[in-house]
Amino acid sequence: MKNKSLTFRIFINTFLVGTLIYFVCAFMFFGNLYTYFEEQLFNELESESIFLEDYVLNGDLLKLQNLETKNRITLIHSNGSVYFDNTVSFEEMENHALRSEFLGAKDKGVSKVSRYSSTMTEKTLYFAKLLSNGDVLRISCNQHSVWVLVLGMSQILLLILVIAVIISGISASWISQKIVHPLNSINLDEPESSDVYEELKPFTKRIAEENFEKAQREEIRAQYTANVSHELKTPLTSISGFAEILMQGGTDPKITVDFSKSIYDEAQRMTTLVNDIIKLSKLDEKSIAMEKEALSLRSICREVMEVLSASAKTKNLSLNLEGDSGLINGVEPVIYEMIYNLVDNAIKYNKIDGSVNIKIQEIQNFAGDRNKVILSVSDTGIGIPYSERERIFERFYRIDKSRSRSLGGTGLGLSIVKHASKYHNASMLVTSEEGKGSTFTVVFEI
């Protein structure tokens, strides 16, 4: 497709069809007209033959010779020899026994034959008739060939062609604009409100869906920004508050220590929050390709357990790890973060003397499926209400805000887990029973 303009393509096609129709019509018209003339001429020759036959049968050849006619009259014996011709001397004429009009007349009584001259500019029509005495009477006349006729009418034909081209051009331009106009008038912001062609409905529907998704994404983003600002503002307010009091001086050394600790804790919170936000945005920007490598889930779980053992101890929890080594292809810091957040939650939302069980299963190719590595983190904690199971993966979402906050949570942990598993094409599953515990399962396909 050289020219991509739809208007131009519709125009040129309509225009060509219009012009083609002109040529077809002209061709048919001339063909018919010409055949009609030819038939007329044959009819004239035939009616002339009727009274000529009388002259011949009466032996009145002199009358024939003097007859005022523009047609050529020839008389042929039944053996093909010519014995009369009103235009040339018949003695010089060759035997006509093999001429098709002669043979035709002998065979059927009458025959009509037409032949082109060598230059193709003229055509001779022959009407031959078998007489009662066995001779053949032939009358012929010349006719311009169809090409001469066309040539003769070339001026008028050209004029009609010009008119046809102009009409084709104007209507093609009108049609193309009329067809393209509804396309140009589609409102891309509200494509479904535009009155479009049936064939374009799937297209406009798709745009409408994309617009909706875009609006939704923008809404989520706006919400996220508002949440981030709010989460940052809360610790900053307390820090300013504590610092303001300390600034005035003269506070009791014990209170000074307490306030300083609070300032430190809040600053720590902010650091965690900012780090989480950075991790999430890194996972969001899929353009940043992170190096994937062969990893053992088991050894990462070990690292996490070691880091979190102290907090597990405060609740007297037992941390257990069982199963295979769980080899996957992944980004180490991202997988670490994912496991860390799952185990961290399993500890944070657990009960005193409970347990956290981590299980890794490698499942070999089953019924044509890909090999799987399944990681599950189970706890014996407070559990998650059924209605909250989707929402806990939303950014900043916490079931019990004050409780999570007192545990230092920002509500970003599970969003990081969700994004990390998505980044690795892994699927997530949550099962939970309120008051008994929860299990988070991540299924990697390898």
Ligand X SMILES: Nc1ncnc2c1ncn2[C@@H]1O[C@H](COP(=O)(O)OP(=O)(O)OP(=O)(O)O)[C@@H](O)[C@H]1O
Residue of the chain from 104, 413, 426, 442 that contacts Mg ion (CB under 5 A): 413
Q: Using the minimum distance from each CB to Mg ion, give the nearer residue, 345 or 376.
A: 345
Query: Tell me, what amino acid is at 122?
Result: E
Q: Which one of Mg ion, ligand X, none interacts with residue 392, CB within 5 to 8 A by kind?
A: ligand X
Task: Determine what percent of the chain falls in helix, strand and coil, rounding each to the nearest 5.
Answer: 55, 20, 25
Burial class (CB in 10 A: 0-12, 13-18, 19+), 416: buried
Stretch that binds Mg ion, among 29-37, 179-187, 381-389, 410-418 (CB under 5 A): 410-418
Q: Does 345 bind ligand X (CB under 6 A)?
A: yes
User: Given the rule CB under 6 A, which of 113-121, 123-131, 160-168, 342-350 is the region that contacts ligand X?
Assistant: 342-350
**Contact by Cβ (8 Å): 41, 143:** yes
CB of 421 to ligand X, least distance (A): 13
Partner interacting with residue 374 (select from ligand X, Mg ion, none; CB below 5-8 Å by kind):
none
Number of residues that bind ligand X (CB under 6 A): 24
At position 56, the amino acid (one-letter code) is V
The C-alpha R_g of the chain, in whole angstroms, comes to 51
Enter the tokens of residue 182: 């509804």
Minimum distance, C-beta of residue 299 to ligand X, in the bound complex (Å): 23
Looking at beta carbons only, is 75 or 412 nearer to ligand X?
A: 412
Look at residues 406, 408, 412, 443 and name the one whose alpha carbon lies nearest to residue 428. Answer: 443
Applying CB under 5 A, which part among 23-31, 247-255, 344-352, 428-436 lies near Mg ion?
344-352
Q: Select from 122, 89, 127 the least CA-distant residue to 108.
A: 127
Element (H, E) at 139: strand 136-144
Q: Which of 15, 349, 423, 444 binds ligand X (CB under 6 A)?
A: 349
Looking at 172-180, 199-207, 208-216, 338-346, which segment touches ligand X (CB under 6 A)?
A: 338-346
Site stretch for Mg ion (CB under 5 A), options 20-28, 144-152, 349-357, 407-415: 407-415
Minimum gap (Å) between residue 387 Cβ and Mg ion:
19
**Residue 438 near which of Mg ion, ligand X, none (CB within 5-8 Å, type-dependent):** ligand X
Looking only at residues 265 through 284 of this chain, which bind ligand X when binding is defined by CB under 6 A?
Answer: 276
With CB under 6 A as the contact rule, the residue among 346, 360, 420, 442 that binds ligand X is 346
Tokens of 24: 């077809």
Size of the site for Mg ion (CB under 5 A): 2
Q: What is the largest CA-CA distance in the chain?
A: 161
Near ligand X in 369-428, by CB under 6 A: 379, 381-384, 392, 397-400, 404, 409-414
Q: Which DSSP string corresponds to 243-285?
A: HHHHHT----HHHHHHHHHHHHHHHHHHHHHHHHHHHHHHHH-
CB of 358 to ligand X, least distance (A): 12
Q: How far apart are CA 326 and CA 215, in angstroms?
A: 40
Judged by CB, which is closer to Mg ion: 330, or 413? Answer: 413
End-to-end distance of the chain based on CA atoms, in angstroms?
A: 44
CA nearest to 15, candidates 185, 229, 172: 172
Whose tokens are 């989520």? That residue is 220
Residue 317: CB minimum distance to ligand X, A: 12
Instruction: State how far the Cα of 347 lies from the Cα of 315, in Å rounded to an integer.
Output: 8
Partner whose binding site includes residue 412, from ligand X, Mg ion, none (CB under 5 to 8 Å by kind): ligand X
- Please say which residue, 211 or 439, places its beta carbon nearer to ligand X: 439
Under a CB-based contact definition with an 8 Å cutoff, are residues 126 and 138 in contact?
A: yes
Choose the binding region for Mg ion from 89-97, 224-232, 243-251, 342-350 (rule: CB under 5 A): 342-350
Q: Are 411 and 395 in contact (CB under 8 A)?
A: yes
Q: 267, 408 in Cβ contact below 8 A? A: no
CA-to-CA distance for 421 and 427, rounded, in angstroms? 7
Distance in Å, CB of 374 to Mg ion, minimum = 21
Q: State the nearest-atom distance from the C-beta of 354 to ligand X, in Å.
A: 11
Residue 345 found at the interface with Mg ion (CB under 5 A) = yes
Pick between residue 56 and residue 416 the one whose CB is nearest to ligand X: 416
Q: Which two tokens stand for residue 315?
A: 């609740």
Positions that interact with Mg ion (CB under 5 A): 345, 413
Positions that interact with ligand X (CB under 6 A): 276, 341, 345-346, 348-349, 379, 381-384, 392, 397-400, 404, 409-414, 438
